[in-house]
Each structure stands twice: as C-alpha cells, then as structure tokens.
Chain A
Amino acid sequence: MSRDASLPISIRQVAKSYGPVTALDHVDLDIRSGEFLTLLGPSGSGKTTLLMVLAGFTRPDQGSLRFGDHEVIRLAPHKRDVGMVFQSYALFPHMDVAANIGFPLRLRRVGKAEAAARVERALEMVRLAGYGRRRIDELSGGQRQPLSALDKQLREHMQIELRRLHEALGMTTVYVTHDQREALTLSDRVAVINHGRIMQLDAPRRLYERPATRFVAEFIGESNFLPVEASGGGYCLAGQRLKLPADFVPGGPRLLMLRPERLRILDGAAPDQLNVLHGTVQDVVYQGDTVLVQVLLAAGAAVAVRAASTSGAMAAIPQRGAPVRLGLAPDDTALLADDGFAP
C-alpha cells in the first residue's frame, strides 16, 4: 500500500523567531496537489526555514500545517513521510547506492525481494540502472545530486530532468532556490519570499510580467525603474501620457518597470499603439547572444535595452551619443507600487 504522494499542503499562520530576528512572519500558503512550487528569495529570506518547517526539522513558534487532511505541525520528521533532498548531497558514504536508496524501505521493513525490485526501478528512473553496487565516492557530482554545485550547462540539463521526473511521478514538490531562472524553469508556481513573508505567489509568466512589488520585479529578471506622475485618472512619464495594459487598476504613486528586452529600438515611424521614450545612446555592449544598449533618457534616468545580436538588428542601433527612440508595448508597461524593500 503506497501512500499518496500528491497530497495538497496547507500552511497557516506559521511564525518563527530567533530572539529579535523574525525568520517566518505568519506565513499562509496553499500548495496544490501534485504541484511543483518553488520558494524563491535571497539568503536570509526564510525560504530554507519554511522548508525545514515542512520537513519537521525546525519547530515553528505557532501555526498549522496540513498534508491533505492531517495536521502534521507537531509530528516528528521521521513520521511525516516527506522526501527531502539536501544541498550538500547527504548521501550516506558508508553505504552503496542500492543501500542508500533502499534505506527508507529497510526502515519500513519492506521485504528483501520487493525492496530490491523497487530500488532497481528507482535507479532506472534516474538513469543510473546497474549502479546499485557502486559506492558513493565513485559517483560523479552530477550523478550524486542534480543542480546546485554543478556547472551551468549540466545544471540546466538537470533542471529539465527534474521536471521530467516530476511529471512522471506527480508528487507535490516544494523547491528552494535563490536562482530566479531555475525557479521559472522548474515550477508550476513560484512564491517569492523575503523577510519571512510571501511577497507574491503566481505562475512564472505572471510573476515575470506582472510583478506585484518592486522587490519582486528586481529579484526576477533585470529591470530599470522610473517614477511616473499620476494625472487625471492615468499616469504620465515626462509629460507624456502612457498607454497602459487593459487590465490595469489605477491607484497611488507608482513606478514604471522597464525590462531591457521589452524595450524596442525604433527605426523609422513609431507604431501608434506603442509608448515612446526618447533618449541618447551611452554605450553599446556586445554580449554574444544579445547586445546591451545603455540609454540616457530625456526624462533623466539611465535604462538598459537588450537587443538581438543579429546583424540586421545591430545595424538599427544608433551610435554612441546619437539620439534614439525606444518603443514599449502597453502590455509590457508595468506599473507597480514602490514597496521600499531592497531585494
């Protein structure tokens, strides 16, 4: 009888303080059945603490934690039936690979034959069939542990592997990282966390295109920010009225978020529907797959523009010191509240 690995998780009012330092500030979070959710935040944000609370290694000061219908907040780690993967591998060096995988089975007194079969299936699933007898120090880094300590290419390959495994097994998965690209790649939803509080919980795309606060916008992807003035039901930048997205809800002082790759260098007549910004080219930096253009806006601020590095696109970039017009689609014109949080 196997337990259901796709239980939804419900976190309510979980708080944890270490003396004067608040690690978790009354967190509420609902994780759907079978979902891959990533906790994304800088170091010290509380993401690891929250994960430890889920696993049972950190006891919060208060709160409720449910796996499906069961309240587990006071349950010891070994009774929670969660599988935890540690940053430092945490593979048992004094056992071989098969013994490592079979460890939980042995604890649950699963019969030898059945355990051996399940270990084999597990090995096949991670593409390590036949490695059962190997000792841990004979495995390479990539074999021991996906992600973290690996180089970039291997890491990205592993991320895709992890997604494949998740899709095949359908387990509710909570992942912790400070790497926003990794979070966007792997997750069904991402919870951006800082100062022990969840700033925003959304699917990757919405998070990227509609960040709720400046902190989230700065943490995910690159962006520049310009203050805009409210005027008569809308917003203006340097006196020019901005064309805003259809679903925009006005209210309060705002910042205009400019993602470098969403600004287009305009060549010739500007299409009607775009917002246009005027400025002068400061620097053009070739970066291989893209070109970074530093522009000083007439409004006074400096912004970065990311353009394609195809010869056609590069030819359209004015020289240093020359004037330039940047186009921004209304849908990409994201105005957000300045929450004053430094990322």
Chain B
Amino acid sequence: MSAGGPANAAGLRRDALRERLALFSLSLPALVLVVVTMVIPVAWLFWLSFLADDGSLSLVNYRRLVVQPSYGRILLTTFEVSGLATLICVVLGYPLAYVLSQLRPRVANLCMLGVLMPFWTSILVRTYAWLVLLQRNGLVNDWGKRLGLWEAPVSLVYNLPGTLVGLVHIMLPFLVLPLYGSMRAIDRDYLRAAANLGASPAAAFRQVFFPLSLPGLLAGSLIVFILCLGAYVTPAMLGGGRVIMVANGIATDIQMFFNWGAASALGVVLLVLAAAMLFIASRLTRLDRLFGSHGT
C-alpha cells in the first residue's frame, strides 16, 4: 500500500492520457491534410477579401458587391435558381421517395442503386447527356414535334430551363436519400392506428405520414438548396452564359480579370450564406424534435 496518496492514481492518469493522445493521433494525418489544403487556403481567401489593390485593409471589395448591379443580379439569379431547383426536386422527389419506402427492402435497395447511379457518373457526363438531349435537334425536341406538342424546335438549353433540368437531375438523389430514410423510419403502426381510428387513406397521409416525413424532407431540401447555391458546372455548361450564379461569377473574376479581391469577397458571401442555411437547418431539426409533428 503506497503511503503517498491513492495507489497508482498518478500512473493511471498518465496511462489514460497516453492512450487518448495515441487515439487522437490516428485522426491527425487526415486533420493535417484538411487543414493545410482547405482551412488555410479558405482562411487566406477570407483575408484577401479585406485587402484593397494596394494591400491595405479595406472594405472596398464588399462595397463593390453592393454598388455594382451585376453582383446584385448574380446573387438574385443564384437564389432564384436554387429556390426553383429545390422546389422541383421536392415535387418530383417526394413521390419517388414515397413509393420506394413502400417497396419491400430488397426491391427498394435495387431501385436505390438506380437513384445512386448519378453519384458514380461524372457531373460532366451527366451535363453532356442533357446537352445532347435538349439541343435544338435533340431527342426532346424531336419527340415534342412528333407528339405534336410544338412545331418549331424549342430552345431548351443554354438558358434557364436547361440549367434547371441539369440541376434537378444532379440534386434529386440528395433529396431522395434522406427523405427515403426518414420515411422508412416511420412506424407502420401509426398508419394502422390512424385507419383504426377512422381516417381515410388520404387523411392518414395528410395528418400522420406527411408530418412525420417532414424532418427528412426539410433536411433534404436544405442540402439541395445549399448545394445549388454553390453550383458551378451546370450553369456554366447548360446556361449558355445567360445563367450566372455566384460560383460562375467567382470563376470569371479570377480567370478573366484576376480580381482576387472581388472573387474572394463573393466567395465569403457564398460561404456565409451556406453556413447560415446550415445553421437554420440545425435549428429547424432540433425544433422539430422538440415539438414533434404539428397537426390537429
């Protein structure tokens, strides 16, 4: 029995610390990589946005964002496009997620492969496919004429509709996946209880199923919206220069004008927007858990 204090306490504390450090060091390489290649460069950009051309600290870059109308247009376009794309994704994605959640797990998993397939094809390939499909003598126009929907070829690409189609195609899986998960998790007994208590199928859906699926829907919508905010390739390829979103503006400022100040300021705005959306998302999901589903 040791005379000075509880037995082995100091040694055990040292052992515990050593183990904690050893386990932390497992994450260290990944952390170093992320900090060096992402955190530091982005922080650098942050810093750049507050520098004027002569190197002094100033808000001139942000002032330019407010004063020059082109930037206002860019931000407006970005929100419009992101909002529209998210809306379309919800309208198309909800029914799909619902049907998938009703299938037997094995069949659903197979269909999921189809939903996930866009993930393992390059965004370029997908956007290219839409270019082909939506061009003046492309498949869609062809069939439109054949089905008598229109006479002259409709301009479906190199504009807003084309961009939206491309965006929705890319973002849909991001909505369907969390929504599917949330729908699968809904206890079937709730629906049975609703039917037992006298609810018609439509009422059961409206008052029981839909509210319970809202957390997944909200999560998916926010993910889609945030991703759309930062979209680059799709508006670049399918927008024909008519759809300029924040990411395009940033790229142009760098590649054409070498205006790092403007680009970084715009970038900071984008980052702040994305972070704000994320924050709202986390608040919403927490609130949801607190209050449960609304409804009569």
Complex: A in contact with B (CB within 8 Å): yes
Q: A residues within 8 Å of B by Cβ?
A: 12-13, 15, 59-64, 73-74
A62 touches B7 (CB 8 A): yes
Other CB < 8 Å A-B pairs besides A63-B7, A74-B15, 6 of them?
A: A59-B19, A61-B6, A61-B13, A62-B8, A62-B12, A73-B7
Pick from B8, B11, B15 the residue with the most CB of A within 10 Å: B8
Q: List 18 A-B contacts (CB under 8 A).
A: A12-B1, A12-B7, A13-B6, A13-B7, A59-B16, A61-B6, A61-B9, A61-B12, A62-B7, A62-B8, A62-B9, A62-B12, A63-B7, A73-B7, A73-B12, A74-B11, A74-B12, A74-B15
Q: Chain B, interface size: which category?
A: 10 to 19
Q: B residues within 8 Å of A by Cβ?
A: 1, 6-9, 11-13, 15-16, 19
A64 surroundings in chain B (CB, below 8 A): 1, 7-8
Q: Tell me the bound Cα distance from A63 to B15 in angstroms.
A: 14
Q: Tell me the bound Cα distance from A230 to B16 in angstroms.
A: 52
Distance to closest chain A CB from B43 (angstroms): 35
B6 surroundings in chain A (CB, below 8 A): 13, 15, 61-63
Distance to closest chain B CB from A67 (angstroms): 15
Which A-B residue pairs are the 9 nearest by beta carbons? A62-B6, A62-B9, A64-B7, A59-B16, A73-B8, A74-B11, A74-B15, A59-B12, A63-B7
Q: Tell me the bound Cα distance from A73 to B11 in angstroms.
A: 10
Q: Tell me the bound Cα distance from A15 to B12 in angstroms.
A: 11
Q: Tell me the bound Cα distance from A224 to B196 in angstroms.
A: 45
Distance to closest chain B CB from A172 (angstroms): 22
Residue of B nearest to A13 (CB): B7
Residue of A nearest to B9 (CB): A62
A60 touches B12 (CB 8 A): yes
B7 surroundings in chain A (CB, below 8 A): 12-13, 62-64, 73
Distance to closest chain B CB from A145 (angstroms): 29
Q: Tell me the bound Cα distance from A63 to B10 in angstroms.
A: 11
Q: Tell me the bound Cα distance from A62 to B2 in angstroms.
A: 11
Residue of A nearest to B2 (CB): A64
Distance to closest chain B CB from A66 (angstroms): 11
Q: Tell me the bound Cα distance from A101 to B19 in angstroms.
A: 29
Distance to closest chain B CB from A70 (angstroms): 14
B19 surroundings in chain A (CB, below 8 A): 59
Q: Tell me the bound Cα distance from A191 to B25 in angstroms.
A: 40
Q: Tell me the bound Cα distance from A12 to B9 in angstroms.
A: 12
